[in-house]
Structure 1
Amino acid sequence: MTAKAFIAAPAGLTVSGEERRFFGAERPWGFILFARNVGSKNQLADLVAELKELGGRETTPIFIDQEGGRINRLRPPLAPAYPTPAAIGRLFALDPEAGERAAWLQGRLLAADVMAFGINADCVPCLDVPVAGAHSVIGDRAYGLNPETVAVLGRAVADGAMAGGVLPVMKHVPGHGRGNADSHLELPRVETSRNELAKSDFAPFRALATLPAAMTAHILYTDVDPRHPATLSPIVIDSVIRKEIGFDGLLMSDDMSMKALSGDLYDLSAAALTAGCDVVLHCNGEMDEMRRVASAAQPLAGDAERRAAACEAVIARRSETMDEAALRAEFARLMERLG
């Protein structure tokens, strides 16, 4: 049975009987984990193993947001804390070679942290380029304030993740840096011209267009599509993401339950898939909502199935061997240069 075009999230530390029946019947393509799903080392490893069993294949994607800085679902003692992406950007400004190496190391070490539990997909790098006056939801999650820096460091992080056998997901395409609101709470609007967006916001995604996966931004770009946020916009997805940026990898929505989107979860999910998202993401674990999302999602087929298979091929690669202690020591030495 082919997996369906959605990513689901369990509600707690274990898979409930109701969830087991639902996931087994509806076959989401992958799963995503949050702090509510993280207890002990053994508990988390068991949860991941059960989700892969329900997915029916060892390459079932198990996603997490583990960026470094303030966005981390795994925290000490389960995983180390890391500097913010912005700190790596400051090192890059001081010494480009050292900054790029630190970015690769952080990607590689984040991969080691999540793979210790069997988690095989990390929603990094964040390629958003903040501007003055934008909402702080991105802030120090960005690697810099210019698209060139963000592209170089984002590429290094993604390469480090893949060297560790982890699927990276660049976000939030085509750019969240100008958002005037937190899309978890309301819909941001960006009124910047498309030409200006192409020079700055779109540029890091265009530079990294060969990466295997990306996550959409729940943002209304009024000069591109004044009616629909990117996740629901055939214009943004086809004209900007697929054609102008040139991305042909798997496009997953940001969380469909975020307040930036309003309406029934069936209608929203169907609209996102019709607009051109390959899979839709649902994060809060609410069973009634998941049922609506699953009802809208169809079995993966065509380009979406091809792109999903390419992502699983990244997961299937064996991670490159490393001297973890030596790489952690090198990373620490590089970051100490910031004082």
Structure 2
Amino acid sequence: MSSSQRFSLLNSLPSTLESQWPQANESLILEPFTYITSKPGEEIRTLLIEAFNIWLAVPSDQLEVIDRVVQMLHNASLMLDDIEDDAQLRRGQPVAHKIYGVPQTINTANYVYFSAYKELSKLRRPGGGEDENVVRVVGASDLDLVVTEELLNLHRGQGLEILWRDLLQCPTEEEYISMVNSKTGSGFRIAVKLMMAHATKNLDIDFVPLVNIFGVYVQIRDDYMNLQSTEHSDNKGFAEDLTEGKFSFPIVHGVRADEQNRVVMNVLQKRPTTPTLKHHTVDYLRTQTKSFDYTLAVMSSLERQVREEIARLGGNPQLEKILDALHVEHDLHDLGGCVDEGVVP
């Protein structure tokens, strides 16, 4: 290539690439994301946003952006989570990376993360600020920091969960709850913190403590359902947490309840894929360590705390309705070990 040709090539390269990025290419690299969002779950995050908006009254255009950002981040994290867990099913269908491959799915998930940040820019106020007399718990200028901090929390929690699994190291109950607050709570906190930054009511009220308790409750409930619910079995596979070697809340209790008995630890090490070992372990947790009874008692306590905090904040019928749907009756686990799900994360 001659020097004149090289010079011509340099001049022909656009300084802004996005304007020349074909929509067809955009659709192609987003295929794994489009696939996972084509069959949404129960959309608990959207329901939560709608419920909190009773208190916060975020303008509809900003609320739509917040919901979109939260859904993008959530589904991107699920694609990566499924790879890290070597999961088979998500929402009743094969996980994205089993169809599109690990490299493309990782790239798409990262692309969606950055696209969410770009979407976040739509929430920034013209001029970059607001009335200095307006006092908020979360400032409208802190949007990037809010999302960044919570994504760090998400990856810290996920990192610990992977570490415990791969080292076959059972956490304490306190360590587990702290991990869950980082991992599961992050997505809920992103939603509510962004809403607090754009609220037109209750600007001085901190809703984060309520969100923290709610997030822990939702995850422990999901842990319970993974080992007990027929609907969860249809969506993700029967007792998939055992196949993934995951230290979920009932499993942590089962291990810690009798540390001399290594039944559960040995099964986790085997990563069982067939029902026999799984049923044996679930039965052990039910009858020997009473881990499901204990988990239900913890869920009941957390649900009560959430309801008390809702009442303290003035009541919220929509949020209470979400809790009603999530509620698990304590006697249902005796009916063959299966309960039906309401709203799942």
The answer, yes or no, to whether TM exceeds 0.5 is no
TM-score, scaled to structure 1: 0.27
Q: Per residue, is there more helix in 1 or in 2?
A: 2
TM-score, scaled to structure 2: 0.27
Structure with larger RCO (C-alpha < 8 A, sep 6+): 2
Q: Per residue, is there more strand in 1 or in 2?
A: 1
